[in-house]
């Protein structure tokens, strides 16, 4: 086999610039996730399920008002 021998490339070590992305401590983030998470789920509940499976308050005003969004965002409506 007369392949030309390829010398191993051995240049000076390439300096990879350190791409340092700061992180947020998960414990600090946890508080936000709990409080904002509850608020967000409450908002989603009123649009997606209220006065369908569970009623708070009684009646159909919330259901009727967000009715089209409930259907078009894919939530079970009636």
Partner 1 sequence: MSKVNPGRKPALTPAAFLVRGLVAGLLAGLVAFGVAFALGEPHVDHAIGLEEAAAEHLTPEEVAAEEAAAAEPGMVEISRENQKSFGLLTGTAAVGTALGGLTALAAAAVVGRLGRLSARGSTLLVAGIGFVAVALVPFVKYPATPPAVGDPETISDRTAEYFALVLISVLAAIGAVVVGRRLLGRFDGVDAGLIAAGGFVAVVSAAGLLLPSVNEVGAFPADLLWQFRRSSILTLASLWATIAVILTVLVGRLHDAVTADAQRRALAAGL
Binding site for partner 1 (CB under 8 A): 19, 21-24, 26, 28-29, 31-33, 36-37, 39-41, 43-44, 46-49, 52-53, 57-61, 64-78
Rounded distance between C-alpha atoms, residue 68 and residue 5, angstroms: 71
Give the Cα-Cα-Cα angle 62, 64, 66 (nearest 5 degrees): 70
Instruction: Look at residue 58 and give the partner it binds from partner 1, Zn ion, none, a contact being a CB closer than 5 to 8 Å depending on partner kind.
Output: partner 1
Contact partner, 38, from partner 1, Zn ion, none, Cβ < 5-8 Å per class? none
Beta partners for residue 50, in sequence order:
54
Q: Which residue's CB is nearer to Zn ion, number 15 or number 78?
A: 78
CA distance 21 to 41: 30
């Amino acid at each position: 086999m007369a392949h030309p021998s390829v010398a191993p490339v051995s240049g000076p070590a390439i300096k990879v610039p350190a791409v340092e992305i700061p992180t947020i401590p998960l414990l600090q983030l946890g508080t936000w996730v709990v409080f904002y998470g509850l608020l967000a789920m409450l908002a989603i509940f009123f649009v997606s399920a209220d006065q369908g499976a569970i009623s708070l308050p009684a009646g159909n005003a919330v259901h009727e008002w967000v009715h089209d969004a409930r259907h078009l965002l894919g939530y079970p409506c009636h």
